């Protein structure tokens, strides 16, 4: 992926915002945090995959046609 | 029109070369806003042309991706404002499209992620897509959406929590199909992807 930060950044954000959640016992929260981090990472991977599916589609011809026409009118204009 | 002064052809060529590389990203972002693939491509084309018309106001070397995403987003919301009725129809069409994502080849969890995303408030979904999938920094996403950086951060964080909760509860709109283990399948897939790397 082009210059994308590793998914670890997402997990860091999770931790950062954990304080907003109701507090639980320290032994529970450590395990829960690991689990939540893992799940958030997994969702992050999926989310990028979903977006990249469209990014990786070939560009439909009309996009390039429109640009080519615009280019011509710019030359003539 | 926007620009009456004669343009340097080399500048135009450079602009065009760069915007071509952004088309796939504009299409992907439009798809997340519209749901419907045809409407999304129309939106992406309109945004591309708006960017072209406004090229004189763009400073080459600055972030063209963020700039075009902002144009696309503004275009989307101004069209929505022009006709709320059309918006409703679009919404219904988008929901149908989201529900109709039923490609037997597609991994189950991907469809469920799409459906779950559809349940998030639009501003949360948009923030999460820009930062979590589009590769934008919080500052860039804030600029694109025209809000404060802190607002984007809190939207992304809320979106992540809500998405996790929806997936874990299996609360996404399944269109009558049996609940799959969406979270389990996403986890298994992430593991496979990370080991394959």
Share of chain B above pLDDT 90, in %: 51
Of B100, B123, B149, which residue constitutes the final position of a domain? B100
- Asked if residue B115 and residue B83 are part of one domain, the reply reads no
Whether residue B124 contacts residue B89, with contact meaning beta carbons closer than 8 Å, is answered with: no
The number of C-beta contacts closer than 8 angstroms across A and B is: 110
Of B85, B100, B115, which closes a domain? B100
**Do A36 and A12 meet the contact criterion of CB atoms below 8 Å apart?**
no
Taking only the tens place, the pLDDT of each residue in B141-170 is 999 999 999 999 999 999 999 999 998 887
Residues B168 and B183 in one domain: yes
- Whether residue B27 is found in the same domain as residue B72: yes
Give the domain range for residue B84: 1-100
Across the interface, whether the CB atoms of A63 and B44 are under 8 A apart is answered: yes
Supply the ipTM of this predicted assembly: 0.76
Check: CB of residue B112 under 8 Å from CB of residue B119.
no
DSSP class of residue A20 equals T
- Are residues B95 and B114 both part of a single domain? no
Residues of A with CB under 8 A from a CB of B: 1-4, 10, 13-14, 16-17, 20, 36, 38-52, 54-57, 59-60, 62-64, 66-67, 70-71, 74-75
Q: What percent of chain A has pLDDT over 70?
A: 56
| CATH number of residue B76's parent domain | 1.10.1740.10
pLDDT at residue A11, rounded to an integer: 45
Helix-, strand-, coil-residue percentages of chain A, each rounded to 5: 75, 0, 25
Buried b (16+ CB within 10 A) or exposed e, A4-14: eeebeebbebb
Residues B21 and B108 in one domain: no
With beta carbons under 8 A apart, name residues in chain A contacting B193.
Answer: 45, 49
Nearest residue of chain B to residue A16 (CA atoms): B157
If asked whether residues B88 and B2 sit together in one domain, one would say yes
Do B76 and B11 share a structural domain? yes
How deeply is B74 buried, as exposed, middle or buried, from its count of CB atoms within 10 A (0-12, 13-18, 19+)?
middle
Q: Is the same domain home to B10 and B28?
A: yes
Residues B93 and B16: their CA atoms lie apart, in Å, by 33
Mean pLDDT of B167-182: 66
Q: Which of A15, A43, A56, A61 to mutate to test the interface with B (most CBs of B within 10 A)?
A: A43
Residues B10 and B72 in one domain: yes
Q: What is the pLDDT of residues B52-77, one digit of tens each?
A: 999 999 998 899 999 999 999 999 99
Q: What is the CATH number of the domain that holds B148?
A: 1.10.10.10
Per-position b or e across B8-37, b if 16+ CB within 10 A of its CB: eeeebeebbeebeebbbbbbbbbbbbbbbe
Number of domains in chain B: 2
Residue B84 shares a structural domain with residue B150? no
Same domain as B86, residue B17:
yes
Average pLDDT for chain A: 73
Contact present, B52 and B32 (Cβ < 8 Å):
no
Instruction: Answer yes or no: do B96 and B191 share one domain.
Output: no
Query: What pLDDT score was predicted for residue A9?
Result: 44
Give yes or no for residue B87 having a pLDDT over 60: no
Half-sphere exposure of B9 toward its Cβ, with a 13 Å CA cutoff? 7
Task: Compute the distance between CA of residue B156 and CA of residue B145 in angstroms, rounded to an integer.
Answer: 13
Shortest Cα distance from B50 to chain A (angstroms)?
A: 11
Range A20-29 contact pairs with CB under 8 angstroms and sequence separation of 24 or more: A20/B157
**Domain stops at, among B48, B83, B100:** B100
């Amino acid at each position: 992926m082009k210059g994308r930060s590793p998914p670890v950044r997402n997990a860091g954000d999770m931790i950062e915002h954990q304080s907003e959640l109701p507090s639980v016992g320290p032994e529970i929260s450590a395990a829960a945090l690991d689990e939540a981090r893992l799940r958030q990472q997994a969702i992050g991977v999926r989310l990028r995959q979903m977006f990249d599916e469209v990014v990786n589609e070939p560009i439909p011809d009309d996009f390039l046609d429109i640009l080519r026409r615009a280019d011509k009118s710019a030359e003539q204009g | 029109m926007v620009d009456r002064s004669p343009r340097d052809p080399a500048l135009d060529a450079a602009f065009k070369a760069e915007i071509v590389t952004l088309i796939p990203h504009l299409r992907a972002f439009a798809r997340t806003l519209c749901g419907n693939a045809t409407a999304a491509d129309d939106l992406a084309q309109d945004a591309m042309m708006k960017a072209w018309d406004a090229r004189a106001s763009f400073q080459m070397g600055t972030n063209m991706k963020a700039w075009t995403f902002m144009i696309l987003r503004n275009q989307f919301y101004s069209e929505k404002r022009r006709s709320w009725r059309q918006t409703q129809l679009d919404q219904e069409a988008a929901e149908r499209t989201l529900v109709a994502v039923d490609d037997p080849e597609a991994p189950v969890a991907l469809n469920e992620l799409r459906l779950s995303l559809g349940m998030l408030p639009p501003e949360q979904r948009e923030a999460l897509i820009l930062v979590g999938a589009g590769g934008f920094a919080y500052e860039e996403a804030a600029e694109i959406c025209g809000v404060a950086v802190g607002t984007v951060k809190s939207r992304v964080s809320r979106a992540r929590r809500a998405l996790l909760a929806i997936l874990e509860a299996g609360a996404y709109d399944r269109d009558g199909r049996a609940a799959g283990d969406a979270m389990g399948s996403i986890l298994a897939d992430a593991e496979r992807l990370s080991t394959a790397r």
